[in-house]
Amino acid sequence: MSQPTGAERSAPDVSADADWNRTYVDGEWRGPGDGETIAVTDPSTREEWTRVPAGTVADVDDAYAAASRAQERWAEKPPERRATLLRDVLALLEEYEDELTDLLVTESGSAPLKSNVELSTARDDVSEAATFPFRAGGDVRESDIAGKENLVKREPAGVVAVIPPWNFPLHLSIRAVAPAVALGNGVVIKPASETPVTSGLVIARLFEMAGAPSGLVNVVTGRGSDIGDRVAGHPDVDVVAFTGSTPVGKRVAKQAVDSLAFPAMELGGNAPNVVLDDADLDNAISGSAFGSFSHQGQVCISINRHLVHEDVYDEYVEGLVEKAEMVPTGSAHSQATIVGPIVNESQREEILDYVERTVEAGATLETGGETVELDGVEDSLVVAPTVLSGVDNDMAAACNEHFGPVAPVIPVSSDEEAIELANDTEYGLAASVWSGDRNRAEDVADAIDAGMVHINDQPIHEEPNVPFGGMKASGIGRFHGDAIMRELTEEKWISVQREQRTFPF
């Protein structure tokens, strides 16, 4: 396939109708040639809408070589040049809002509400990153030696590999790409196979349109089984920013560490949602429904378990069922839809299996637990919002990260039991606590082993200036703000002896 002409590059297409069957390496859009391609399907219609190249190890090597060359030159650019590039990308995110929203709907099955929220969050990520070139300066430390000045400088880490997931593809990719570029690094993106456009190719196109130097941002599409290890463990990688499941993250982290790269890992979650007996129940039910059913529950920080005090348990279950049954379901292409399709068939089957096993173990299926049929679609991927009562912490839908629109409700008799059950998991990403007593809620929040705990709010919340990440098996390090600046740079100590020292020999 021929390369795009200069005219084509001056006004590239970022829509779902564009030709996305290319990788982007060293400023060139490379077609698959005689190589294999991978079909990308629309989860709502189950139809193929584009294809992308199945990248090879050689493609990965080319991308790293390009990123390394570009990074050396980019790191020498003044802060204003790097900040300007990010501001130009931000302007393009705003200019192409409709096209990008449509891409998210088409590729990831994101309902319009979720797509709009994701795009807004991506803009916030880039806006925050645009301030980094002026905030990542060093420090001066005192010395015990007379006349010595200690300078602690911050330098770019080098080349950053970004391996994003499919659920929030644009946001969870650009939250690493934008800071990396702002801080003087080169980037290689290995996008998610289900969402190669929104988690990689369209980001490269936006940076190209904004005037990024060739090789600064590179994208190699392909299967993780074919190129994942090479991306994560490449000899030239310095930081691996990965978001995804804990089992895959452990493999990625091992590859990174074997290359002495820092593994920035945001991994799985099993968020407990604690509802105490003095909570504003109407507010808790409304927020908790949002926290369970938004984006079909395909959110690492969505509510996985509802731990509800027995005194308000029945009323809570009744209210949650009412919310579940009123949430509009259907194709992500409909403006009315809130709960759209699961990303693929295997994910859908896993969710339904967790529900079935939980009912077999003694829980009650209050509502949902089935596929919602769509007109004209064979084998719909839409799963009805599901509420399970009489659940205990060891049942399948509770102890696993179900990643679906499923709300297992577990009764608790005390704050202490709620804390014990909340922590009875390998994960520690996000949590939430509802109570009318702030001090009581903070005591519970302090005792929960999670990187992020929200009081009187559900846990699907992220802000670009606040550290985002988890404890235990939920990851290593933090994204956003000062935290990501530390992880994408290296500290360098330079001492300057201003006055002559006296040595003992």
Question: 22 in the Ramachandran plot: left (φ > 0), alpha (ψ -120 to 50) or beta?
Answer: beta
State yes or no: pLDDT of 9 exceeds 60.
no
308 CB-near residues (< 8 Å, 6+ apart): 275, 316, 317, 409, 410, 411, 412
Entry pTM: 0.95
Reported as type and span, the H/E element at residue 383 is strand 382-383
Tokens read off for 356: 């079935």
3-state SS of 295-318 is HHHCCCCCEEEEEEECCCHHHHHH
CB of 21 within 8 A of CB of 37? yes
Distance between alpha carbon 163 and the CA centroid of its chain, in Å? Answer: 10
Express each pLDDT in 206-262 by its tens digit.
999 999 999 999 999 999 999 999 999 999 999 999 999 999 999 999 999 999 999
Q: What is the pLDDT of residue 6?
A: 34
Compute the average pLDDT of residues 330-356. Answer: 98
Query: To the nearest whole number, what is the mean pLDDT of the chain?
Result: 96
All domains in the chain, ordered by first residue: 24-267+474-492 (3.40.605.10), 271-455 (3.40.309.10)
Express each pLDDT in 90-111 by its tens digit.
999 999 999 999 999 999 999 9
Q: What is the pLDDT of residue 473?
A: 98
User: What are phi and psi for residue 492, nearest 5 degrees?
Assistant: -130, 125
Q: What is the pLDDT of residue 5?
A: 36
Whole-angstrom Cα distance, residue 402 to residue 399? 8
State yes or no: pLDDT of 2 exceeds 50.
no
Would you call 71 helix, strand, or coil by DSSP? helix
Q: Letter for the amino acid at 482? A: D
Express each pLDDT in 297-324 by its tens digit.
999 999 999 999 999 999 999 999 999 9
Express each pLDDT in 467-489 by its tens digit.
999 999 999 999 999 999 999 99
pLDDT band (50, 70, 90) for residue 3: very low
State yes or no: pLDDT of 10 exceeds 60.
no
State yes or no: pLDDT of 74 exceeds 80.
yes
Reported as type and span, the H/E element at residue 149 is strand 148-156
Q: What is the pLDDT of residue 120?
A: 97
State yes or no: pLDDT of 193 exceeds 50.
yes
109 CB-near residues (< 8 Å, 6+ apart): 42, 43, 44, 296, 332, 340, 341, 342, 343, 381
Q: What is the pLDDT of residue 1?
A: 34
HSE, side-chain direction, 13 A CA sphere, residue 122: 30
Q: What is the pLDDT of residue 44?
A: 98
pLDDT band (50, 70, 90) for residue 131: very high
**Torsion angle, alpha carbons of 247, 458, 286, 410, to 10:** 60
What is the set of active-site residues?
A: 266, 300
Express each pLDDT in 440-464 by its tens digit.
999 999 999 999 999 999 999 999 9
Tell me what percent of the residues of the chain surpass a pLDDT of 70.
Answer: 98
Compute the average pLDDT of residues 373-384. Answer: 96
pLDDT band (50, 70, 90) for residue 61: very high
State yes or no: pLDDT of 7 exceeds 90.
no
